[in-house]
Chain A
């Protein structure tokens, strides 16, 4: 890291209680407090959030897109994980 700039952070925002934190973008900050405060000022100017996570971008370990086939395709065949795989007799509504 050059002395002349701050590290990059990824910002995640929970828009309201009960929802997941969602990635909204990135920004630069010298430390974690600043990253959270900047996250508030940059990404919640229109009350878009109630909670913020900041993760330094260098700490994000991402999957390799060229391995996407082997990582994600196997689950395509595991249809039994999805509720629509199962027949439910007529007359049963909430399941």
Chain B
């Protein structure tokens, strides 16, 4: 399996699974306007997953397309971070998960725009526009909820406490990254992390939120080792393809 394939799968699966989570909100948002906004984010993520997984299929060259990759792998073959598969919880938890993710994705796509891989840089350029908007939206909400009412402050601090342990995996690297780094396809993740830390610190400061002191880490998704949530997600995501194999829809 090529390093490039593995890397694109990681990006694509983050979009796919977070898009899935976001789409669960459609029809259930806290207010109509926000329902529409969250569905827009879900749509962007599903669109990114489509471009990325189709491209991963091309790189692999075994005749699998985006749909085959999205719907017909085993759980261990999905490489999204644990963060994006976490349940939606209340609106604040969804927003916090989105914010931690957007603050990482924006600098990541910025760097990937200059990738030596032309296709990847094109996807990054398009996705960056969307991600900037997602980050603006999620950061504003973190601030509103953090500095809103006593109840909202408590709730979103709680969400941060719960999700914080999954944030380090966003910066996970292994031999896949080392190889692509040497080929100029990606840049050092440390630069992305540095930017993420600044964004997170500034937004939490404005939101009057405290970064948890418990730095216990939960990782595994990038290697295919997921939380209990993943099986339930796949049961829905793959339902049609598994129940009615080999059909056109």
Contact = CB atoms under 8 A, between A and B. Distances in A.
* Direct A/B contact, Cβ within 8 angstroms: yes
A48 to B, nearest CB: 14
A5 B136 CA distance: 23
Contacts of B137: 37
Interface stretch (B1-9, B14-22, B29-37, B157-165): B29-37
Contacts of B36: 38, 41-42, 45
A38 B40 CA distance: 11
Interface in A1-60: 6, 27-30, 33-34, 37-38, 41-42, 45
B37 A37 contact: yes
Measured as residues with beta carbon below 8 angstroms from the partner, the interface class of chain A is 10 to 19
A58 B31 CA distance: 21
B60 interface: no
B76 interface: no
B178 to A, nearest CB: 40
B33 A42 contact: yes
20 contacts: A6-B31, A27-B33, A28-B31, A28-B33, A29-B33, A30-B144, A33-B140, A34-B33, A34-B140, A37-B37, A37-B136, A37-B137, A38-B33, A38-B37, A41-B33, A41-B36, A41-B37, A41-B40, A42-B36, A45-B36
